[in-house]
Structure 1
Amino acid sequence: MLRWVFFLVIFIIIDIYAFQAVKTITKNSWIHILYWLISLVVVGNFIYHYYGTNKSDGLNHAHAFAFGFLLALVIPKMILLLGMFAEDIFRLPHAIYRYFTEGDAAKGNYFPSRRQFVSNITLGIAAIPLASIIFGIYKGKYNFKVLKYTLTFEDLPHAFDGYKITQLSDIHSGSFDDIEKVKYAVNLVNEQQSDVILFTGDMVNNRADEMLPYIEVFNKLHAKDGKFSILGNHDYGDYAPWDSEAAKLQNLEDLKAIQKQIGFNLLLNEHRYLEKNGEKIALIGVENWGTGGFKQAGDLKKASQNIHANDFKILMSHDPTHWAKKVITDDYHYHLTLSGHTHGMQFGIEIPGWFKWSPAKWRYKHWAGIYKEMGQYINVNRGFGYLAFPGRVGIWPEITVIELKKGTATA
């Protein structure tokens, strides 16, 4: 209860300060009432869904939208707060000067009036994240992008020159609210006509039954060399309450069965070989392994048993921290690792080829796209679905297509 009191106090401070911009622009009492009414409804709805409802089945769509609308309210108001505070930095010296020079003649009104143009500018700036968040909730979460990369390797088997991989990650089926948009994305995947489809974990948020409405959608995925998958941290059911440990374990078995229904070959600390014209590459899949308190069930050594050191290797590992902590320093050379997990925090700014930023970079060194260290590559997929915040702003849902080429590797 104490945390909600703290939250309300902080929010009220932000709200009062932000209101100064509105009050400077207009004296219309109805607009003032509307301002406070919207705040009351949005904050009340958030507190109700996160404190007054049963979350035994995890977070549902109503919880997600309550959080999304709160962000849409708070972030613009924080910008208003900063704008008004910046103006007060200049108003304060003026007030001090009037206090000492005018004294009682000022009748206690030492601060100069707020300037309307400052409030106009601040409101204009605040409107940008507001519009972006609303777009992200209603359109951005299904704004699927196909990102294509070509990676060159000197030791790639000749038969795999031009081999195409489609990577999907972080479906989070329990968050979806529009099955037709999901069908569109699956069709988009098939249009890439890749040789193999690799899914790098987090099929659900918590429970296997979240995937039931989408089995007949995702089983339409097709690639001539098959579909392979691994588990992500959410797939184990660790973030939902269970009546018993047996129920939790059964949920995981149910999810494995669903993956089989879809046609995925689930790799649990094991490997397969992809073969073509008498040559082969090793496909290794580990269970989730991540730093920062995430499950560490991945066993790279076990998964790579009986693989030759000189084999060309593609590793599927959900959390990119595994690559930095374990993979690139391993005795074996893992040519390409495919990860997800970060979602790019579903928020950021990207100008392809020029600029890439997200708050995710403060948590993850490798958070989106292709990275290369010690002669090894990793691709961190931005995710197919979404979680918690019911939208995406600037960091769009991703379908990755990687073409392998034989040749002299670039630096």
Structure 2
Amino acid sequence: MRWLIPIFIYLLLEFYAYQAIKTLTRNQIVQIGYLVLSLAILGYAIYVFANYDRSVGPTKYSLRASAMLLLTIVPKLIIVLFMFGEDIIRVCVAGYTYLTNTFFDGTATEYLPDRRKFISKIAIGIAAIPFAGLLHGIFRGKYNFKVISHVLHFEDLPDAFDGFRITQISDIHSGSFDDVEKIEYAVDLINEQDTDMLLFTGDIVNTMAKEMDDWITTFKRIKTPTYGKYSVLGNHDYGEYVTWDSEEEKEANFQAIKDIHNKIDFNLLLNDSTFVEKEGERIAVIGVENWGHNFKKAGDLTKASQKVSKEDFKILLSHDPSHWEYEVKKHDDHFHLTLSGHTHGFQFGIEIPGFVRWSPVQYVYKQWAGMYDEMGRYLNVNRGFGFHAFPGRVGIWPEITVIELRKGSKPS
């Protein structure tokens, strides 16, 4: 029964898309071929998701099925907008025809005008744009790594840390990777930044610790900067999105995920903090477990900060940016800079600096990508290193963030 509504919606989309194809060409081979392909994709998706194993979690098959569905559904939604709009006009024309009695006068041969060919052409032409975008996102966009740089000014930054540079990565999701060469390129790109400290803000896997087995050597190649590599957990690192045979099995997987960080030379902070010292001065690096407004709340900011004084300059690692919105930014202990991830920028959107910045995720998260500044406190939401659920990225590219700390007031 749970499949009936999605299937009905899909078939409705299919009806309108087929109307567009049928209007454009009378070639039955093309029409039948289109229907066979669409139904084959639907059948494959139903088969994959109906046999989804919750004890395993996402696989390359479920990722492929979601990609195929999006490739067909998104363009058809565009087509429906045009075709349904035209149907409204056609119904209005038919009503006008009836009300003016032109039908009975013999001046009209039918109530409903024929579907216009140019509308179908426009609909298919515009639908081709997101189709091409999705194709690019699947085959190239998901590994289109970008280095995004920020310079932040703080009047109370210790003098020794003026010019201190930090690299942030987030949301590795190693279980989704399918190209060793591209990931090795990204690791080289991280190393090229040659910063003072490297910070990772959670979701090293999709669910299972074993997803990282083939990638340990690759990620161990990330150089350890002078002032270390630190990390925290994300919501996917707790193994809560699959069914386990026992709590012991779940706990063993969780421990194995925590152990991964040590294997790739990261210092995992579990509601804990550490100090980075330079020339007799220090800054605090604080790491909380996952705290999400709509997700797991394992993070304990009080516990994580108990070794830190109010006067210390603080960098907080917290996977979910909603933590900053609901607890961090108004906290009595001034957290100067918070680093998050989690949203992936929805892996879909439009970003043209200075002109437009949009993604569907902005209707769920107030802070969803990039740098935010409120009440003299900064939050950076990294767009993510990897990908999840949909095996691609459209307009929102995988990110390596470089942040430079500067002493002094923010330039006007």
Band the TM-score falls in, shorter-chain normalisation: over 0.9
Q: How does 1:84-163 map to 2 (within 5 A)?
A: 84-99=83-98, 100-103=101-104, 109-163=110-164
Asked if the contact 1:98–1:106 (Cα under 8 Å) also holds between the matched residues in 2, the reply is: no
Equivalent position SS for 2:403: strand
Counterpart of 1:356 in structure 2 is: 357
Task: Give the aligned CA root-mean-square deviation in angstroms.
Answer: 1.4
Counterpart of 1:395 in structure 2 is: 396
Counterpart residue identity of residue 233, structure 1: N
Counterpart of 2:69 in structure 1 is: 70
Q: Measure, in 2, the Cα distance between the counterparts of 1:296 and 1:106.
A: 71
Deviations 1:25-71 (Å, cap 9, x if unpaired)?
11111111121111111111110110034342101011011011101
Q: Measure, in 2, the Cα distance between the counterparts of 1:185 and 1:107.
A: 66
1:372 matches 2:362: no
Q: Measure, in 2, the Cα distance between the counterparts of 1:84 and 1:353.
A: 34
Aligned partner of 1:249 among 237, 248, 251: 251
How much does 1:107 deviate? 9.2
Q: How does 1:8-407 map to 2 (within 5 A)?
A: 8-99=7-98, 100-103=101-104, 109-222=110-223, 223-292=225-294, 294-407=295-408
Q: Measure, in 2, the Cα distance between the counterparts of 1:330 and 1:9.
A: 49
Q: 1:103 and 1:7, CA in 2 relative to 1: closer, same or farther beyond 3 A?
A: farther
Deviations 1:310-341 (Å, cap 9, x if unpaired)?
11000000000000111111110000000000
Asked if the contact 1:273–1:280 (Cα under 8 Å) also holds between the matched residues in 2, the reply is: yes
Asked if the contact 1:269–1:302 (Cα under 8 Å) also holds between the matched residues in 2, the reply is: yes
Equivalent position SS for 1:273: strand
Counterpart residue identity of residue 4, structure 1: W
5+ long unaligned stretches in structure 1? none
Counterpart residue identity of residue 230, structure 2: F
Counterpart residue identity of residue 177, structure 2: F
Counterpart residue identity of residue 272, structure 2: E
Asked if the contact 1:233–1:295 (Cα under 8 Å) also holds between the matched residues in 2, the reply is: yes
Deviations 1:383-403 (Å, cap 9, x if unpaired)?
000000010000000000001
Counterpart residue identity of residue 60, structure 1: T
**TM-score relative to the length of structure 2:** 0.97
How much does 1:344 deviate? 0.4
Counterpart residue identity of residue 62, structure 1: Y
Q: Measure, in 2, the Cα distance between the counterparts of 1:406 and 1:259.
A: 32
Q: Measure, in 2, the Cα distance between the counterparts of 1:226 and 1:65.
A: 37
Q: Measure, in 2, the Cα distance between the counterparts of 1:15 and 1:107.
A: 31
Q: Measure, in 2, the Cα distance between the counterparts of 1:387 and 1:79.
A: 25
Asked if the contact 1:271–1:283 (Cα under 8 Å) also holds between the matched residues in 2, the reply is: yes
Counterpart residue identity of residue 4, structure 2: V
Q: Measure, in 2, the Cα distance between the counterparts of 1:109 and 1:192.
A: 70
Asked if the contact 1:286–1:298 (Cα under 8 Å) also holds between the matched residues in 2, the reply is: yes
Counterpart residue identity of residue 44, structure 1: G
Q: Measure, in 2, the Cα distance between the counterparts of 1:35 and 1:332.
A: 61
Deviations 1:174-217 (Å, cap 9, x if unpaired)?
01111111111000000000111100000000011101111001
Q: Measure, in 1, the Cα distance between the counterparts of 2:132 and 2:105.
A: 46
Q: Measure, in 2, the Cα distance between the counterparts of 1:333 and 1:206.
A: 34
How much does 1:306 deviate? 2.3
Equivalent position SS for 1:46: helix
Q: Measure, in 1, the Cα distance between the counterparts of 2:253 and 2:107.
A: 71
Q: Percent identity?
A: 55
Q: 1:13 and 1:108, CA in 2 relative to 1: closer, same or farther beyond 3 A?
A: farther
Deviations 1:243-282 (Å, cap 9, x if unpaired)?
1111111111111212101000000000011111111100
Q: Measure, in 1, the Cα distance between the counterparts of 2:17 and 2:346.
A: 26
Aligned residues: 409
Asked if the contact 1:140–1:393 (Cα under 8 Å) also holds between the matched residues in 2, the reply is: yes
Equivalent position SS for 1:148: strand
Q: Measure, in 2, the Cα distance between the counterparts of 1:281 and 1:165.
A: 13
Q: Measure, in 1, the Cα distance between the counterparts of 2:106 and 2:205.
A: 68
How much does 1:106 deviate? 8.2
**TM-score relative to the length of structure 1:** 0.97
Deviations 1:86-106 (Å, cap 9, x if unpaired)?
112221222123333214958
5+ long unaligned stretches in structure 2? none
Asked if the contact 2:103–2:110 (Cα under 8 Å) also holds between the matched residues in 1, the reply is: no
Equivalent position SS for 1:3: coil
